[in-house]
C-alpha cells in the first residue's frame, strides 16, 4: 500500500502541549484513518507514519496469550493490564541490580518470541517508508550494546503490551530519542485512538496497523474506549529504546555484577538482622511492573 504524504501544520507549541501532560484525553473523532506519512508543514520534518503491517494473526495469538500484570492507575482510577518485554535496565531503587531480560521471556517464551520477531517486521516497514528516521534511530541505538537490542537492525531494546489502556497525555520520558513503533490488535472496542495534540492528529489505531512516531518528543494519549462486543479488546504493543540500556555492560558482566551486588545486600541484611535492626523490607525486584510505556511517574498529577 502506498502511504499518502501529508503536510501537517503544527497546532500547539511544545510548551502548550506540555500543559496537557497528566490529563485524561477527551473523546474525539478520528482524523487519520488511511496510510499516512505526516511531515511538519513548516520544516518538512517527519512527524508520524501510520501504516498497515502484514501478518497480524500471529501477533494477535501471541498478545492474547499474554500473562497480564494488573496495575491500578491513580490518574484515571482504572485498572491497567500490561506486560513489558525485551530488556530492562539496572534500577537500583527497586533492587534490580543488573540489566536483564524481562520476566516475560521466561514466563511466556512463545509470546515473547513473536514480540521480538515483530521488531524486525516493524523495523523493515519503517526503513522502507522513512529511511532517514530509521537511520537516525540506528545512530542513537549504537549507544546500546547489540546484545540488548531486540534485533540487530532495529533500534528498540524493549516494549510493553497494553490491554485496553486509556493512557493520559504523556511523553515517553525514559526513552532514547528514537521513534517508537506501535502496532495494535483490536476487536469489538470503539474509541482508543491515539491523539497527538501538537499536530491535531487523532489516529484510528485499527487492527493490524502500526503507528510510528517520536513518543519521546511529542505529547500523546489514548482516547476513551468502550467495549461493543463481549470479549472485545484493544491491545497496543509499543516498541521503544530505553535510555538506561546504554549503561548496560555485556550480559556476562551484568550477571556477575548482579550476583555480587545481591550477595553483598544479603550479607548486609543478615548483619542487620543479627543486630535486631528493623525498618527495612524485602522486595522482589522483578515484581515491579513498569506502567504504560516509559511514562515517568512524576508526570502524573
Ligand atoms: Fe507513550
Which pLDDT band holds residue 27 (cuts at 50, 70, 90)?
very high
3-state secondary structure of 270: helix
* Mean pLDDT value of segment 248-274: 77
With 70 as the cut, is the pLDDT of residue 257 above it? yes
Which pLDDT band holds residue 289 (cuts at 50, 70, 90)?
very low
Residue 262's pLDDT is 74
Mean pLDDT, the chain, rounded, equals 88
Q: What is the per-residue pLDDT across 166-200, written as a single tens digit (0 to 9) for each?
A: 889 999 988 999 999 999 999 999 999 999 999 99
Which pLDDT band holds residue 12 (cuts at 50, 70, 90)?
very high
* Mean pLDDT value of segment 242-247: 91
Ligand 1 centroid – CA 105 distance (Å): 22
Say which residue, 21 or 75, is predicted with more confidence. Answer: 21
What distance separates the 2 farthest-apart alpha carbons in the chain?
Answer: 70
Ligand 1 centroid – CA 214 distance (Å): 9
- Rounded to two decimals, the pTM is 0.85
Neighbours of 39 (CB within 10 A): 17
With 50 as the cut, is the pLDDT of residue 299 above it? no
For ion ligand 1, residues whose CB falls within 5 Å: 172, 215, 293
Between CA 202 and CA 195 the distance in angstroms is: 4
Between CA 203 and CA 266 the distance in angstroms is: 49
Residue ranges in the chain assigned as alpha helix (H): 14-18, 56-64, 104-107, 109-129, 131-141, 251-274
With 80 as the cut, is the pLDDT of residue 47 above it? yes
Which pLDDT band holds residue 76 (cuts at 50, 70, 90)?
low
Q: What are the boundaries of each domain within the chain? A: 4-251+282-296
Ligand 1 centroid – CA 172 distance (Å): 5
3-state secondary structure of 3: coil
Architecture of domain 4-251+282-296: 4-Layer Sandwich (3.60)
Torsion of CA 163, 295, 94, 142, to 10 degrees: 100
Which pLDDT band holds residue 276 (cuts at 50, 70, 90)?
confident
Any idea what the Cα angle at residue 20 is, between residues 16 and 22, rounded to 5°?
Answer: 150
Percent above pLDDT 90 for the chain:
70
* Mean pLDDT value of segment 265-281: 71
Q: What is the per-residue pLDDT across 118-154, written as a single tens digit (0 to 9) for each?
A: 999 999 999 999 999 999 999 999 999 999 999 999 9
Ligand 1 centroid – CA 121 distance (Å): 20
Which pLDDT band holds residue 288 (cuts at 50, 70, 90)?
very low
Rg (C-alpha) for the chain, rounded Å, is 20
Q: Is 45 within 8 Å of 123 (Cβ atoms)?
A: no
Ligand 1 centroid – CA 294 distance (Å): 6
Residue 297's pLDDT is 43
Say which residue, 150 or 77, is predicted with more confidence. Answer: 150
Give Cα 170 distance to the centre of its chain: 12
Ligand 1 centroid – CA 236 distance (Å): 11
Amino acid at each position: 500500500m502506498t502511504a499518502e504524504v501529508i503536510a501537517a501544520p503544527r497546532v500547539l507549541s511544545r510548551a502548550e502541549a506540555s500543559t496537557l501532560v497528566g490529563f485524561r484525553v477527551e473523546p474525539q473523532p478520528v482524523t487519520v484513518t488511511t496510510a499516512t506519512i505526516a511531515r511538519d508543514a513548516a520544516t518538512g520534518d517527519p512527524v508520524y507514519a501510520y501504516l498497515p503491517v502484514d501478518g497480524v494473526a500471529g501477533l494477535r495469538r501471541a498478545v492474547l496469550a499474554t500473562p497480564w500484570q494488573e496495575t491500578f492507575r491513580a490518574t484515571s482510577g482504572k485498572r491497567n493490564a500490561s506486560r513489558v518485554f525485551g530488556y530492562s535496565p539496572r534500577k537500583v531503587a527497586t533492587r534490580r541490580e543488573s540489566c536483564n531480560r524481562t520476566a516475560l521471556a521466561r514466563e511466556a517464551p512463545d509470546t515473547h518470541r513473536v514480540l521480538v520477531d515483530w521488531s524486525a517486521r516493524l523495523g523493515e516497514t519503517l526503513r522502507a517508508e522513512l529511511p532517514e528516521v530509521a537511520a537516525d534511530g540506528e545512530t542513537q541505538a549504537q549507544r546500546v550494546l547489540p546484545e540488548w537490542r531486540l534485533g540487530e537492525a532495529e533500534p528498540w531494546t524493549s516494549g510493553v503490551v497494553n490491554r485496553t489502556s486509556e493512557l493520559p497525555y504523556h511523553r515517553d520520558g525514559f526513552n532514547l530519542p528514537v521513534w517508537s513503533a506501535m502496532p495494535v490488535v483490536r476487536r469489538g472496542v470503539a474509541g482508543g485512538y491515539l491523539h497527538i495534540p501538537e499536530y491535531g492528529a487523532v489516529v484510528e489505531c485499527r487492527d493490524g496497523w502500526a503507528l510510528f512516531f517520536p513518543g519521546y518528543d511529542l505529547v500523546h494519549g489514548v482516547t476513551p474506549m468502550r467495549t461493543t462486543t463481549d470479549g472485545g479488546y484493544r491491545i497496543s504493543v509499543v516498541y521503544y529504546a530505553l535510555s538506561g540500556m546504554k549503561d548496560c555492560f555485556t550480559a556476562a558482566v551484568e550477571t556477575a555484577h548482579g550476583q555480587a551486588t545481591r550477595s553483598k545486600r544479603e550479607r548486609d541484611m543478615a548483619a542487620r538482622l543479627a543486630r535486631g535492626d528493623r525498618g527495612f523490607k524485602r522486595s522482589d525486584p522483578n515484581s515491579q511492573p513498569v506502567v504504560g510505556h516509559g511514562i515517568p511517574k512524576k508526570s502524573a498529577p
